[in-house]
Amino acid sequence: MTTILAIETSCDETSVAIVKNRQVLSNVVSSQIDLHQQYGGVVPEVASRRHVETVNWAIAQSLQDADLTWAEMDGIAATCAPGLVGALLVGLTAAKTLAMLHQKPFLGVHHLEGHIYASYLSNPTLQPPFLCLLVSGGHTSLIYVKDCGHYEILGQTRDDAAGEAFDKVARLLNLGYPGGPVIDRLAKSGNPHAFPLPEGQVSLPEGGYHPYDSSFSGLKTAVLRLTQKLRQESDSLPVNDLAASFQDTVARALTKRTIACALDYGLKTIAIGGGVAANSGLRQHLQAAAQSHNLYVLFPPLKFCTDNAAMIACAAADHFNRGHTSPLTLGVRSRMAISDVMQLYGKDEG
Ligand code: KG4
Ligand code: ZN
């Protein structure tokens, strides 16, 4: 059994967790949302500073919650890509320093591979291959999970990520940040068919549409135009109906692509990851569509859908079990394709 302490600081959550293979022993998550709310989005410099202030406490708390000592760790891991460079540097530097100090192997982890591993945490018997729909503030990807470290992107967004679309639409409806949870809540008492909205499709040069890629910027513009028109007609906006119609459109678009992809590639299991996986509309649409095609959908609990270090530790444990470790010269990267994950292990990047 492999015990890993991992640190996640790629965006606006400072998180430290200890995982034994696929079992979570502690998972401390300190969210910075309150701090960034006043700016309507994450301010990178502010995020880095808060990570610095919080990370030592989170490490100590994680060890205390798990009731373990450094001697009992097999390795120390941190998210190293993709994400905000300054924010990533805080967790990565802390992990490398601790690895050196306690003479433990170090592992850098790709953030999106972490999101995939959230499904293993809640379904310890899950085995690849399967399809992962990763929907977060920065990504909307359909990933063919072949094995630990081996991934192929089959579909992605050409513009805004799904979570970004939720956040932007919430801003134009004056609902604050982050937009996903509030739109989800308001949509529950709205009519999803009140306003027909364009789902957004990606044209192919040879004609027709890309079956797995999505595009949400047109949908966002359509909501903008619609709200401008409604504001001219009345003083009060039908916010619940707008939220429900927008959410339903995103959920249908993602469901259509995910099911088509799973069927075309013969993948029976679909795992969902990222903050938007918390969305109740998406969950309902996917569940219903999967059932009618005899596919199986895994929804990790919400605490593992949004950013957390337990999913990072779980990915690191799997790599460690295969003999993968990272050089202490490993740096952070703001962007990195998930198909390049194996670059993080074994080779000296310095
Ligand atoms: O995975 P995550 O915590 O952070 C990264 O982007 O990596 O995802 C955050 C995103 C935000 O855009 C937020 O609005 C969205 O997930 N989100 C939701 C819901 N909860 C969070 N979107 C739709 N419905 C939700 N219930
Ligand atoms: Zn994330």
DSSP 199-262: ----B-TTSSB-SS-B--HHHHHHHHHHHHHHHHH-SS--HHHHHHHHHHHHHHHHHHHHHHHH
8 Å CB contact between 249 and 169: no
User: Average pLDDT, stretch 265-276?
Assistant: 96
Q: Give the pLDDT band (50/70/90) at residue 349.
A: very low
Among the bound ligands, the one closest to the CA of 179: 1
Please tell me whether the peptide bond between 178 and the residue prior to it is cis, using omega within 30 degrees of 0.
Answer: yes
Q: Is the CB of 241 under 6 A from ligand 1?
A: no
Residue with CA closest to ligand 1 atom 22: 180
Specify the ligand 1 atom closest to the Cα of 302. Answer: 20
Alpha-carbon distance 263 to 276, whole Å? 22
Among the bound ligands, the one closest to the CA of 140: 1
**Residue 245 is encoded by which pair of tokens?**
């119609």
pLDDT for residue 348 is more than 80: no
Residue of 210, 242, 215, 213 whose CA lies nearest to 228: 242
Q: Give the pLDDT band (50/70/90) at residue 37.
A: confident
Alpha-carbon distance 9 to 307, whole Å? 9
Q: Give the pLDDT band (50/70/90) at residue 299.
A: very high
pLDDT for residue 347 is more than 80: no
250 CA to centre of ligand 1 in angstroms: 13
Please tell me whether the peptide bond between 129 and the residue prior to it is cis, using omega within 30 degrees of 0.
Answer: yes
Q: What are phi and psi of 145, to 5 degrees?
A: -90, 110
Q: Is the CB of 178 under 6 A from ligand 1?
A: yes
Could you report the per-residue pLDDT of 196-215, keeping only the tens digit for each?
999 999 999 999 999 999 99
So what's the pLDDT on residue 272?
A: 96
User: Average pLDDT, stretch 90-99?
Assistant: 98
Could you report the per-residue pLDDT of 106-165, keeping only the tens digit for each?
999 999 999 999 999 999 999 999 999 999 999 999 999 999 999 999 999 999 999 999
User: Average pLDDT, stretch 251-271?
Assistant: 98
**Residue 255 is encoded by which pair of tokens?**
């469901």
- How many other CB atoms sit within 10 Å of the CB of residue 48? 18
Average pLDDT, the chain: 95
**Residue 98 is encoded by which pair of tokens?**
């601790």
8 Å CB contact between 250 and 168: no
Residue with CA closest to ligand 1 atom 2: 275
- How many other CB atoms sit within 10 Å of the CB of residue 97? 13
| All residues at 6 or more sequence positions from 52 whose CB lies less than 8 Å from its CB, including other chains | 90
8 Å CB contact between 90 and 51: yes
User: Which domains does the chain possess?
Assistant: 3-118+306-344 (3.30.420.40), 128-304 (3.30.420.40)
Q: Give the pLDDT band (50/70/90) at residue 34.
A: confident
